[in-house]
């Protein structure tokens, strides 16, 4: 049976016997069924490392009821936390890695292999324990198994009541809001943190 396309959407077609179910026909991959009233399947956008390799990502603007429940709990859990400051509103389009590495454009894949590729090809090097953290550094949060759980950008360095420097990180908590928080406080305080800094490269053109 021939498939018809809606006006202005040549990449979509529908079965005349089930006109409310849409099928994507742009690629040779199995069709994606789009059902009215259901969340739209996420798309991806072109994002590349400094060496030109594609960064896996997806992009969706929809927050589910469960997302909103989790977001409300975030606010509730941190209302009285003086080291946590909520910034931008919640947005499903990007995650923490999308903020850190993708300029808020998409949800970047959080697999270790993806983040390691970005750090390597964008010329980020882990700081030595003797090197002081400074604004602009990247914070990567690892769980006890060594899996990456979170990332953020160091926004400022404050001084604690004991005179010690305390990095404050600007990050995004899941599908929730952007937050400025002390590096060791908030939703990822059980993780270990490695700080990375952009270095001058000898094997790519990012500083030319």
Buried/exposed 63-99: b ≥16 CB within 10 Å, e otherwise:
beeeeeebbeebeeebeeeeebebeeebbbbbbbbbb
pLDDT (mean) for 196-202:
83
Taking only the tens place, the pLDDT of each residue in 50-78 is 999 999 999 987 788 878 888 898 888 88
Q: What's the confidence (pLDDT) of residue 142?
A: 97
With respect to residue 165, please indicate whether it lies within any of the assigned structural domains. Answer: yes
DSSP code string of 115-148: HHHHHHHTTEEEPPTTSPP-TT-EEEEE-TTS-E
Nearest Cα to 149, choosing from 208, 204, 88, 190?
A: 190
With respect to residue 7, please indicate whether it lies within any of the assigned structural domains. Answer: no
CB 86 within 8 A of CB 177: yes
Which domain CATH number covers 86?
3.90.1720
Q: How many C-beta neighbours within 10 Å does residue 126 have?
A: 13
Q: What's the confidence (pLDDT) of residue 37?
A: 59
User: How many domains, in total, are found in the chain?
Assistant: 1
With respect to residue 32, please indicate whether it lies within any of the assigned structural domains. Answer: no
With respect to residue 146, please indicate whether it lies within any of the assigned structural domains. Answer: yes
Taking only the tens place, the pLDDT of each residue in 9-36 is 444 443 444 433 333 333 334 444 545 5
| Residue range(s) defining the domain that contains residue 153 | 61-198
Taking only the tens place, the pLDDT of each residue in 91-114 is 889 999 999 999 999 999 999 999
With respect to residue 173, please indicate whether it lies within any of the assigned structural domains. Answer: yes
Query: pTM of the full predicted structure?
Result: 0.76
């Amino acid at each position: 049976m021939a498939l018809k396309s809606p006006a202005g959407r040549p990449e979509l077609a529908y079965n005349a016997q089930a006109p409310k179910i849409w099928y994507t026909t742009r690629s040779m991959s199995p069709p994606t069924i789009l059902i009215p009233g259901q969340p739209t399947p996420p798309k991806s956008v072109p994002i590349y490392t400094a060496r030109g390799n594609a960064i896996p990502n997806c992009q969706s603007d929809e927050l589910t009821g469960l997302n909103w429940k989790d977001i409300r709990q975030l606010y509730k859990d941190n209302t009285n936390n003086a080291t946590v400051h909520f910034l931008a509103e919640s947005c499903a389009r990007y995650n923490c890695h999308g903020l850190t590495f993708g300029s808020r454009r998409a949800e970047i894949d959080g697999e270790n292999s993806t983040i390691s590729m970005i750090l390597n090809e964008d010329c980020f090097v882990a700081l030595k324990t003797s090197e002081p953290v400074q604004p602009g550094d990247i914070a990567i949060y690892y769980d006890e198994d060594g899996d990456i759980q979170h990332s953020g950008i160091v926004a400022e360095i404050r001084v604690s009541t004991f005179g010690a420097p305390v990095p404050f990180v600007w990050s995004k908590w899941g599908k929730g809001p952007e937050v400025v928080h002390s590096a060791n406080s908030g939703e990822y305080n059980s993780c270990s943190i490695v700080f990375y800094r952009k270095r001058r490269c000898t094997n790519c053109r990012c500083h030319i």
